[in-house]
A and B are shown apart, each in its own frame.
Chain A
Amino acid sequence: MTVRKNQAQLTAAEKRRFVDALLELKRSGQYDTFVTTHNAFIMSDTDNGDRVGHRSPSFLPWHRRFLIQFEQALQSVDSTVTLPYWDWTADRTPAASLWAPDFLGGTGRSRDGQVMDGPFAASGNRWPINVRVDGRSFLRRDLGAGGRQLPTRAEADSVLAMETYDMAPWNSLSDGFRNHLEGWRGVNLHNRVHVWVGGQMATGVSPNDPVFWLHHAFVDKLWADWQARHPNSRYLPAAGTTNVVDLNETMRPWNDVTPADMLDHTRYYTFDRAA
C-alpha cells in the first residue's frame, strides 16, 4: 500500500531511495516527458477557452492523476518509493531539512540562481534542464526572494473552511475552495509557493524542480483534508459546462479518467496523517 509521508519525517534511507529514483527517471528520459506535458497544458489552459490542468475545477483531479502517473513511474524504478509531501505551512524557511544537501539541495547562488549543492546541482551532471524556455540548463532557485513568505497554517485553514468546491465562471476569477487553493484569488496558497521557490518552479516548466512533486502532493492532501471537513460538498460543475471538465467527463491527456474517478484518493494511496 502506498503511503505518502511528510517529507520532514523521511528517514535517510527513504530520502536516498527517492532521490535515486528521480535521478534514474531523469537518466532514462522519462522525467522530462512529465515536464513537457505540464508545460503544454499550462500554455494552453486559458480562462476563456478550453482549460483542464490549471485555472479550472479540474486543477485538482488533473494534478492528482498526474502525480499518480509520476509516482507509478518512480515505483517502476524502486517499488518502495512513494511521493512525499511538503507542508509549506510548517517547514517554511530555506533552513528546513527539505533543502539540505542529502535531499533536494538549497537555494541558488546570487549571481545566476544556480543550485550549488544536493543531488540536482548542475555540477553533478545528473540533472540537465532539457525542457526549458531560456538558455539556462542548470537548476535554479531563489527561495523566499524579496522577503516573500510561504502561506501560514491559518491561511490554509481559511481556505479549507470554504464549503463550495468551485463556482462559475470556473476559472481564475472564481470564488470557492479550488481557486483559493490554486491561488488566483484571495490569500493565495499554491501559486505563491511556486513563486517563493523561484527559478524553474516559477515558470511553465516547473516540474524541472523535484520540489514540484512534493508541493503538489501537499496541495493534493489539502484537497483530501477539505473533503474530510466538508463531506456534503461535491466536485463542481456537475454537467454541461463549456470548456470545463464536468464531474463525469474525461480529462486530457489520458481521456480515460474523470474527476469522479479521482475523488477518492484511498483507491491509490493514503497519507501518514490527517491535517
Chain B
Amino acid sequence: MSRITRRRALGVAAGAVAGLAVTGTAVARTAGTAGGADHTGHAGHTGNSGKAPADPAPFDEMYEGRHIQGGPTDGHGGHGGHGGGHSTGYTVRIDGEELHVMRNADGTWISVINHYEPLATPLATARAAVRELQGAPLVPLTLV
C-alpha cells in the first residue's frame, strides 16, 4: 500500500477540488498554508513561545492495545510535519501514523478525530482518538 503524507494528500486534494471549479485556487492556498506553516508559523519552530501555555510533556505508552506517542515536533516535521507543525509544535502518533492535532488558544487540544470537543492534553486527545477508532487504523486523508 502506498502511503502518502498528509502534506501531500492535502496538496493533491486541493488540486482535485480546484479542478471542479467550485472552489478555485484558494483551496490550494489553504493547503499551502497548512503545509508550509511549520516554516512560517507565527511562533517559529518552537511553536509555543509567548502567551501559549507551557509545552505538554512527551508521552509514549500502550493504550488499549495501541502505541501512542507525543512530543515536540522535530525540525523536519517527520513524515507528517504539517500536522503538528502548523501551530502546535507538537506531534502525536498512533501506531506510528500521525494524528492531526491542534492546540486551542486556551491551551486545550483537539484532533481531527475529535474536532469539536477540546481535551486538556495531547495525551488525553490521543487516548480519546484510540477509543473512537475502535481498532481502526489511522490513515492519511484518503482522496476521491
> Which residue numbers of A lie inside 8 Å of B, CB to CB?
29-30, 32-33, 36-37, 39-44, 46-50, 55, 69, 73, 112-113, 130-136, 169, 171-173, 183-184, 190-192, 194-195, 202-206, 252-255
Instruction: Kindly state the separation between the CA atoms of A253 and B31 in the bound complex, as whole angstroms.
Output: 11
Output the nearest chain B residue to A41 by Cβ-Cβ distance. B30
Q: Which residues of A contact B24 (CB under 8 A)?
A: 253-255
CA distance A133 to B143 in the complex (A): 10
Q: Select from chain B the residue with minimum beta-carbon distance to A32.
A: B144
Whether B92 is near chain A, meaning CB under 8 Å from some CB there, is no
Q: Contact between A169 and B20 (Cβ–Cβ < 8 Å)? A: no
A134 near B141: Cβ-Cβ < 8 Å: no
Given A36-B13, A44-B86, A253-B24, A130-B144 contact (CB < 8 Å): yes
Asked whether A33 lies within 8 Å of B136 as measured between CB atoms, the reply is no
Please determine whether A171 and B113 come into contact, CB atoms closer than 8 angstroms.
Answer: no
B69 at interface (Cβ–Cβ under 8 A)? no
Interface stretch of the complex, out of B36-44, B57-65, B71-79: B36-44
B26 touches A254 (CB 8 A): yes
A43 pairs with B112, CB closer than 8 A: yes
Of chain B, the residue at the smallest CB distance from A142 is B132
> Which residue of B is nearest A69, CB measured?
B22
Say yes or no: A36 contacts B104, CB within 8 Å: no
Instruction: Check if B100 is an interface residue, CB within 8 A of chain A.
Output: yes
Given the complex, which residues of A lie within 8 Å of B114, measured CB to CB? 202-203
Contact A172 B116 (CB under 8 A): no
Which residues of B line the A interface, CB within 8 A? 10, 13-14, 16-17, 20, 22-27, 29-31, 33-34, 37, 41-43, 52, 83, 86-87, 100, 102-106, 112-118, 132-134, 136-139, 141-144
Smallest CB-CB separation from A47: which chain B residue?
B105
Whether A33 and B138, one on each chain, are in contact in the complex, defined by CB atoms closer than 8 angstroms, is no
CA distance A36 to B84 in the complex (A): 20
A-B contact pairs, 30 of them (CB 8 A): A33-B17, A33-B144, A39-B13, A40-B14, A40-B27, A42-B112, A42-B115, A43-B102, A47-B103, A49-B41, A49-B87, A130-B142, A130-B143, A132-B141, A133-B100, A133-B113, A172-B105, A172-B106, A173-B104, A184-B104, A202-B115, A203-B114, A206-B115, A206-B116, A252-B26, A253-B25, A253-B27, A254-B23, A254-B26, A255-B24
Closest A residue, CB atoms, query B35 = A44
Write out the residue numbers on chain A whose beta carbons fall within 8 Å of the beta carbon of B106.
172-173
Docked CA distance A191–B42 (Å): 26
Chain B residues lying within 8 Å of A190, measured Cβ to Cβ, are 116
- Inter-subunit contact A30/B116 (CB<8 Å): no
CB proximity of B1 to chain A, nearest CB, Å: 11
A133 x B112 contact (CB < 8 A): yes
Nearest Cβ distance between residue A18 and chain B, in whole angstroms? 20
CB of B88, distance to nearest CB on chain A (Å): 9
The closest CB in chain B to the CB of A52 belongs to B30
**Contact, CB under 8 Å: A131 / B143:** yes
Q: Which residue of B lies closest to A194 (CB)?
A: B116
* Chain A residues within an 8 Å CB radius of B22: 33, 69, 73
